[in-house]
Structure 1
Amino acid sequence: MRIRTLWAPIIALCAIILLTGCWDTKDINKEYLPAVMGIGKGRSDKYRVILQIPNATGKTQFLDKESKSISKAIDLIRTDSEKNIDLVHLRLMLIDKELAHEGIGNLIDFAVRANDISIKGLVAVVDGDFEKTLYHEISPTPEVSSYDFFSEEAGWTPNQSIVRIWEAYRSQNSFSEDMAIPMLKNGDRTLFTFRGTAVMREDRMVGTLSQDETLLYNLFKGKYTGGTIEVAQNTSVLIENAKIKHRRGWSEQGPSLITEVTLNVLITEKPKGKSNKRIEKEMCEQLSRQFNDTLNKIRGYKSDVLGTGLIFRPYLSEKNLMKWKSKWFPMLEQKVNVHVNILNEIYFKDPDTDMGQGGLLKSS
């Protein structure tokens, strides 16, 4: 009896200790979990913050406030909301193009410093009507989210650039790399329409790349999965894999870089009678020309968006590394050569063959 009396308070104390681990749990039904945050210029204040909050039915709720700082605007949203605002599930940060031209350094710094925002979240620039894009909705489809447009398992293709908050923070503070940010606007029958890529110099938008130029940018970066290239009329190929090889050099005239791009492709469409050798030749000439035109365009922006400084970084002293963007990158002589190999793994319908007799021919 005495032993039971001694053990009773000990067991009760242990139970109390275990229960204290759940003291700060929150009811999810009393929380708003925004998936998208839009940051634009306010009508009466410096910033306008719009939060998109999806629900299980596929509909979206919008919360909107203006203030002189992003933190204060979010605090005002929390003040007027009947539920707690938790940004832990924020997947996409949309920035108005006008702000992007002025500089987004403070916006990225805010996202990195905020304790409840994941740095794995994505960043994009709104090229068009900011309010219309943020308030745009399509018919309720619970299985589709804004994040899917940037997911390699869903809607993403190499014609779109992609950058996460931590990558944007790294690039804007890097001596050897600038960043490229996807540009989008509201779609007609889809949530978004991609407009190309915003080219940044440090934290400011200085130019744009088209969708075709974005594909070349992604190829240079090794992101090509699902990329389709149109070679000529009625001829297109799918990139199976790519090999990128850089040859660095440094002379009295400054740095030089020759990049050899080898593409293994599958023909997905071609006119009858056009040989694979001819397609390979056309692709090499076309892509080499487009690559080098894109390089000249980027050089005109004075933005090392391709990250060529990273290729030279092991060979740069700390002093030269700090001068890369201002001194050495403008002096860089750069060229890209493209080589193409066609793989024989796609079957085509032969228009002259009766489908009832198996009208599928292997490419040659």
Structure 2
Amino acid sequence: MVKKTCRLASLKRRRQRPSCKAATLNNIFAALRRALKNSPEKLRAGAPKTRNLKLTAASNRQRRCRSIKAKPLFFSLLLLLCLVIISGCWDERDLEKRAMVVAIGIDKGKKYPLKVSVEIPLPKNLGNGSGSNQSQGGGKSYKVISTEANSLAQALVDLQWKAEQTLFFGDLRELILSEPLVKKPFPSLFDAFSRMAVIRKSQIWPMIIKGESAEKFLKTFTPPEEQIPKIYLRGMILSDENIQYIPKNTLANVVMDRINSTKEPFMLVIKQVNKSNVKIVGIGAFKGGSNTHLAGFLNIYDMAQWQRAALEEDAGEMFVPLAKGKQMTLLPSKIKRKHHISFHDHQLKDVIDIYVDGEVIETTPKIDLKNIKKRNAAEKRVEYVMEKRSDRMVHKLQRFNSDILDIRTMVRSYYPSMYNKIDWKTAFKQADITVRYHVSIKRVGLETS
């Protein structure tokens, strides 16, 4: 009992003891009470402390004045330093003293492997407006210079010797390659374009000219609508890309597809009809990886089927013959694509389902599509025709052995174990690839009785 009472007493004493923090606060409050009790006379008696405070205040004011006086000098020195650093006119070059290269054409040379041609606008010969290739003085608004060399870099140096002004490639927009050149591997050509920092690769459209040389095309193509022909060609390509008539493709895409071991590049193919007209006739499918070369061509109808199967794009109107003397034009408004990949004894099988929602633009002669049976029959006919055209496109690509459908990329992404077991030199060529269409007509337009 004694031990318990002693322990309780000690606990009471501990509770009664104020903590250190409480003791400090009590001392502070006591000091404040004493200060409040002091009279004004007693406060005035602390003169030495007030004098010290006045002296410190005066010294602080002097320091502030010095800092205020020093600020203009500091900012003026900082401004002078900025003017020295940001002055960018020391190496300026007048635009009229530069030769702006807007297009490059590359052919096979006679003496050397490459023949390189560049198109350069002549600002002094440009007229007041578009619509004429001749200036008011009668001179041409552009010029083309050519040279032959062992490599692209050497050719560009030779062209600089021939040009009267410094060649500038920052405004380059078209790269035109001749068909004989791209039929054989030429790795250094793509290597040079990928290393040139001044070239904006995402703003350059690579194209294959079919049926003639790139040099002749640069010299003879003169549309009356534009003073600089390649600006007209660039506008035509951009407008067709925006409405998805043609696939979007730049030099950056070609370079990246060439580096990627699972992809094959493609390029647009153009053909000159006459001096003032050019048309897009399809795409060129490449193969070979680092030794990239042209494998074959797809025409515009095969290109449309490829766009829907590979890029999930609508690719413009579908012209479908329904019966003898009857035709329907369907405009896709929505397209979805799904791959169903499977393997049988290391043989690749891919079923590509394409779901199309569209609206009828025209039927010749008139067909009553409000009738459910006739509408279903029209949908089945569209599916049949599109599947036949897709089979023809797939057979062409397999004959070229060019996997621009990106099936190899999907196998590597979703079936990595099978990807390493397959011999990809012959896998795409021997694959079982089927394209199935699922068409739904959503709108038939206004019809009159």
Alignment TM class, shorter chain as reference: 0.7 to 0.9
The correspondence of residues 270-289 of structure 1 with structure 2, limited to 5 A, is 270=363, 271-273=365-367, 275=369, 276-289=375-388
Partners of 2:241 and 2:248 within 8 A in 1: no
User: Paired residue for 1:145, among 217, 223, 232?
Assistant: 232
Name 1:99's counterpart in structure 2.
Answer: 181
Distance in 2, matches of 1:250 and 1:25, equals 62
Residue 314 of structure 2 corresponds to residue 217 of structure 1 = no
* Alignment length (residue pairs): 348
Residue 109 of structure 2 corresponds to residue 42 of structure 1 = yes
> Residue by residue, what CA displacement relative to the aligned partner does 1:117-148 show, whole Å, maximum 9, x if unpaired?
11212211111111332221111425953222
Gaps of at least 5 residues in structure 1 are: 353-364
Residue 401 of structure 2 corresponds to residue 302 of structure 1 = yes
* Matched position secondary structure for 2:104: strand
The correspondence of residues 78-97 of structure 1 with structure 2, limited to 5 A, is 78-97=160-179
> Residue by residue, what CA displacement relative to the aligned partner does 1:237-272 show, whole Å, maximum 9, x if unpaired?
112120101112123242211111011112111021
CA gap of 1:3–1:254, structure 2 versus 1, over 3 A, is: closer
Partners of 2:348 and 2:427 within 8 A in 1: yes
* Matched position secondary structure for 2:157: helix
Give the % identical residues: 16
Alpha-carbon distance, 1:89 to partner: 1.4
Distance in 2, matches of 1:3 and 1:282, equals 87
Name 2:194's counterpart in structure 1.
Answer: 112
The correspondence of residues 187-206 of structure 1 with structure 2, limited to 5 A, is 187-188=273-274, 190-202=276-288, 203-206=292-295
CA gap of 1:190–1:231, structure 2 versus 1, over 3 A, is: farther
Distance in 2, matches of 1:211 and 1:61, equals 32
RMSD over aligned Cα atoms:
2.9
Residue 334 of structure 2 corresponds to residue 250 of structure 1 = no
CA gap of 1:321–1:168, structure 2 versus 1, over 3 A, is: farther
User: Paired residue for 2:147, among 40, 55, 65?
Assistant: 65
Distance in 2, matches of 1:70 and 1:51, equals 12
Please report the TM-score for the alignment, with normalisation by the length of structure 2.
0.70
Please report the TM-score for the alignment, with normalisation by the length of structure 1.
0.85
CA gap of 1:19–1:169, structure 2 versus 1, over 3 A, is: closer
* Matched position secondary structure for 2:441: strand
User: Paired residue for 2:256, among 142, 153, 170?
Assistant: 170
* Matched position secondary structure for 2:110: coil
CA gap of 1:19–1:310, structure 2 versus 1, over 3 A, is: closer
Higher fraction of strand: 1
Residue 328 of structure 2 corresponds to residue 239 of structure 1 = no
Distance in 1, matches of 2:88 and 2:183, equals 48
Name 1:337's counterpart in structure 2.
Answer: 436
Alpha-carbon distance, 1:76 to partner: 1.6
Partners of 2:412 and 2:419 within 8 A in 1: no
Partners of 2:183 and 2:295 within 8 A in 1: yes
Q: Which has the higher contact order (CA 8 A, sep 6+)?
A: 1
* Matched position secondary structure for 2:399: helix
CA gap of 1:22–1:344, structure 2 versus 1, over 3 A, is: same
* Matched position secondary structure for 1:224: coil
Name 1:132's counterpart in structure 2.
Answer: 216
* Matched position secondary structure for 1:123: strand
Alpha-carbon distance, 1:28 to partner: 1.4
Partners of 2:312 and 2:337 within 8 A in 1: no
CA gap of 1:225–1:188, structure 2 versus 1, over 3 A, is: farther
Higher fraction of helix: 2
Moved more, 240-249 or 104-113: 104-113
User: Paired residue for 1:160, among 221, 229, 246?
Assistant: 246
Alpha-carbon distance, 1:25 to partner: 2.5
CA gap of 1:115–1:4, structure 2 versus 1, over 3 A, is: closer
Partners of 2:398 and 2:429 within 8 A in 1: yes
* Matched position secondary structure for 2:164: coil
Gaps of at least 5 residues in structure 2 are: 1-68, 131-140, 370-374
Moved more, 314-323 or 331-340: 314-323
CA gap of 1:154–1:343, structure 2 versus 1, over 3 A, is: same
Partners of 1:302 and 1:330 within 8 A in 2: yes
Distance in 2, matches of 1:297 and 1:62, equals 37
> Residue by residue, what CA displacement relative to the aligned partner does 1:22-67 show, whole Å, maximum 9, x if unpaired?
3223211211222211111123322111112345545433222221
Equivalent residue letter for 1:289: K
Alpha-carbon distance, 1:288 to partner: 1.0
Partners of 1:201 and 1:302 within 8 A in 2: yes
